[in-house]
Every structure is written in structure tokens, then in C-alpha cells.
Amino acid sequence: NDGLHGARTRCGRVVLGKGLHTVKTTGFQRHGGVTMQVLYSGPDTYGRRKHLRVADKKRERYGRGRWDMTIYRSKRSLKMTPSDAELKGSRFVLVGKGSVHRVHFRRLNDFRRFIRGTCHLCAPGHFCPGGFRSRYRRRRYRGVPYARQLRCPHRSWSIKLGSKNRKECDQCRPGYYGPGLRKCKSCRRGFYCPGGAEQRPCPEGSTSHGRARDINKCFCKARYKKKAAGGPNHQCVKCPRGSYCPRAGGRYIRKCPVGATSPSGSMRWSA
């Protein structure tokens, strides 16, 4: 069990009931705000081929894309082979004898909240076995483990959604830079590092503290002020003539006293 594909993971479970041999059985679950309907057709109609179709109330089918299924033949035993599940058009074809107790399934190619809202793509900077995580913080529910989200190792980072293992944490995390994971260095003052091999300088008139993660961590130097009140901290212009900016941050602007003046970009006034 890798934490997601196995039989014991609560990640989009649809309980179809015991010993289904009826023509149609329906069950309604939440699917990111859309009520999904699971239609099951037993062997009375299709012989030994069992069809599982996913649709909403309006019968709009969700057939495109890749789906992952885990099929339970009984409460305790799990039988899962490549021939057990097959997607044809908008239908899942379950091949083989015996009844289906319940089915786990989830869609793999989009960022929706899946059945019961329990599954999300693994966030950047983390990796999850299978690429998905549970929204619950608890590790277990009624003895069943949830899909876990694990942080990338120290100073490493995964840039994409849905990273599956530690090998995909293949670049320096934000606030660090370097050509490889073993050479990640802290971002220097006056620069910001969104993650990767290089550090980027703050815009003109701005600086930063060490380990700045993005451009929003840059702020105006002394002698500069913010370009617009309420604007980004990294957009700076020189302090205007007749005023002075003694401190960094862009908010400390003072007018010169009566009889004193100062050129643009000054830290202090002069008589």
C-alpha cells in the first residue's frame, strides 16, 4: 500500500452495497459542488461484464481523462488486476465474476475536489505517494490511513502540483539558490530567490533581507519612497526635492524645516 492506490485509503470512496446483482443502483456523493451519481449495472443485463458510469443529475457524463480505480470484491479481500477496470467512453467496465462490494475511484488530470472533497493535488514544496493528499489533518479515521502530504527535504523544493516522491524535489527551495541540491546557498541581501539555480536582484531603489523568497520581500532603501501609497513595496522612486527619507521601508518621508532644503534622494536636510 503506497498510501493512496491501496485498498485502505479513504480518498474518494463510493460504497455500492453488498452483492449487487440488480440492473441499476444509484448513490449520490459530493464532487466539488456537483452532485455525482454512480450508476451500476449488474450481470442481469450485461452478463459477466459489469458497467460503472459516472454522471451528474443532468446526466452529463464525465468520461474523458484518466481515472484510477480500486475494486473491492468483498469486505476483506481485494482483487485488482489491469483487466478488472477499463474505461470505454464514459463507462467503467468491470470484468470478472462475483459481486462488487465497493469501488474507489478518482480523476487524475484535473484539480477538482474529488468525492466528499477529500482529495487534492499535492502542493508545491511537498510530495505525496500517488500525487494526492487528504484534506484531513488526522492520519487515520476509524483505523483507515489517509493519504499524507510530506515536506520536501531541507532546502529542496518541488515546483509543480502533484509530486509523487522525493526525487521530484529537485531544485532549491524559495529563499535559496544553487546549481544543485547539495549546493543550495542562502539568498543574499538585495536579492530574492523564488527557487532554482539563480538569485534575482531587487528592482532599482529597493533591497531585501537575506533569504527573500519573492519580489514582494523587497522594500525601499533609505533615500527612496514608495511610488504609490498602498502600492507594492518594491516599486520605489527617489525622495522628492524639499523632503528627505532617513530610513528604509518607503514610508518614512519628512518635509524639510522652514528655511532648509534638500536635493532629491536625500537622507537628511541641510540649511
DSSP secondary structure of 241-265: TTEE--STTS---EEPPTT-B--SS
Residue 178: which pLDDT band, with cuts at 50, 70 and 90?
Answer: confident
Reference 116, options 57, 56, 34, 61; nearest CA is: 34
* pTM of the predicted structure, to 2 decimals: 0.49
Residue with cell 451528474: 56
Contact 165, 190 (CB under 8 A): no
Contact 38, 115 (CB under 8 A): no
Burial class of 269 by CB neighbour count within 10 A (0 to 12, 13 to 18, 19+): middle
User: What is the C-alpha to C-alpha distance for residues 166 and 156, in angstroms, rounded to an integer?
Assistant: 9
Amino acid at the residue 202? C
Q: In terms of pLDDT, which residue wins out, 112 or 144?
A: 144
User: What is the C-alpha to C-alpha distance for residues 38 and 211, in angstroms, rounded to an integer?
Assistant: 50
DSSP state letters, 6-64 = STT--SSEEE--SS--SS-EEEEEEETTEEEEEEEE-HHHHTTEEEEEEEETT--B--S
Three-point CA angle 74, 80, 83, nearest 5°: 125
Per-residue buried b or exposed e for 172-186, using 16+ beta carbons within 10 Å of the residue's own CB: bbbbbbbeebeebeb
Q: Which three cell numbers stand for residue 177?
A: 539558490
Contact 148, 132 (CB under 8 A): no
Position 255 pLDDT exceeds 50: yes
User: What is the C-alpha to C-alpha distance for residues 214 and 187, in angstroms, rounded to an integer?
Assistant: 11
- Return the sign of the alpha-carbon dihedral for residues 72, 74, 76, 78: negative
Position 206 pLDDT exceeds 70: yes
CB atoms under 10 Å from CB of 146, counted, come to 21
Look up residue 239 and give its DSSP letter.
P
User: What is the C-alpha to C-alpha distance for residues 16 and 28, in angstroms, rounded to an integer?
Assistant: 10
Position 136 pLDDT exceeds 80: no
Name the most confidently modeled range: 126-140, 210-224, 257-271.
Answer: 210-224
Q: Considering only 100-114, 176-190, 257-271, which range has the smallest mean pLDDT?
A: 100-114
Give the pLDDT confidence score for residue 96 in this predicted structure. 41
CB atoms under 10 Å from CB of 153, counted, come to 12
Q: In terms of pLDDT, which residue wins out, 193 or 230?
A: 193
Look up residue 182 and give its DSSP letter.
G
Amino acid at the residue 144? V
Residue 120: which pLDDT band, with cuts at 50, 70 and 90?
Answer: low
Give the pLDDT confidence score for residue 224 in this predicted structure. 92
Give the pLDDT confidence score for residue 27 in this predicted structure. 33
Give the pLDDT confidence score for residue 147 in this predicted structure. 57
Give the pLDDT confidence score for residue 131 in this predicted structure. 61
CB atoms under 10 Å from CB of 145, counted, come to 17
